[in-house]
Amino acid sequence: MYEAWAGARLREPIEVLGRLREAAPTEPVPEIRTGTPGIWMLWEIRPHGTAGLRDCYALFVTEDGAIRPDLAERLWLLLSRADRVEAGPPLSPGEWERLMALGADHAYAACSRLAPPDTWRAPWLIPRLVVRSVA
């Protein structure tokens, strides 16, 4: 989808992180029909807050607040194959804050389990893409 929109191929999928700007709470949210209402987010994560290492993860939160890794993966694949995605309204300020907190909690918990307690530092997190999934 990014390549079709930008008109340029990526050498490596991770390059998309450097080309997507940070998601903003007031911008329209892309919408895709999946059958499961919720919000999908792509997060850039840099372990230990370093600039050199970067990775990403997807998070899907259903309308009732359940975190669904299986749907995050499925929606990521759907987005990568989508020819067209519609623009929808921005998230409400409360919804934005709740999703940012969930994304941070999810990343911090994962990073803290991977690093020894005496070396753990908070990762640097950037929401790169927010997509609304509609029924």
Tens-place pLDDT, residues 39-96: 999 988 877 666 666 778 899 999 999 999 999 999 988 887 887 788 999 999 999 9
- The number of folded domains in the chain is 1
Range of the domain at 105: 2-134
If we measure between CA atoms, which residue out of 2, 10, 23 comes closest to residue 85?
2
Task: Identify whether the C-beta of residue 48 lies closer than 8 Å to the C-beta of residue 123.
Answer: yes
DSSP conformation letters of 79-91: HHH-S--EEEPPP
DSSP conformation letters of 10-24: -SSGGGHHHHSPPP-
Owner of token pair 């995050």: 72
pLDDT of residue 110: 72
